[in-house]
Amino acid sequence: MRPVTDGALVVTLDETRQAMKLIAEKARVISEGAGALPAAAALSGKAGDGPIVAVVSGGNLDMKKFCELIAI
């Protein structure tokens, strides 16, 4: 993987939950945790300054569980 990547970022579960909630509220998109990781990294400031593109994916999540996660 070294030739095709510059590094990796780590976000917390709380940052992931916050990203999931913001994506749902602002973009009206339901994303599972893994799908919200790029947005969580961008929103936390860990992805750096300047323009950032975050691909949000996944909706394979039980709505009851989703509501529990973003209510915290």
Q: What is the mean pLDDT of each run of 10 residues along the chain (72 residues)?
A: 78 96 95 94 92 88 92 80
User: What pLDDT score does 1 carry?
Assistant: 54
User: What pLDDT score does 58 carry?
Assistant: 85
Cβ contacts of 55-59, under 8 Å, gap ≥ 24: 56/23, 56/27, 56/29, 56/31, 57/31, 58/31, 58/32, 58/34, 59/29, 59/30, 59/31, 59/32, 59/35
Residue at token pair 């940052």: 15
User: What pLDDT score does 4 carry?
Assistant: 78
Domain count, the chain: 1
User: What pLDDT score does 50 carry?
Assistant: 86
Predicted TM-score (pTM) of this structure? 0.85
Q: Domain of 36?
A: 2-71
User: What pLDDT score does 2 carry?
Assistant: 62
User: What pLDDT score does 38 carry?
Assistant: 94
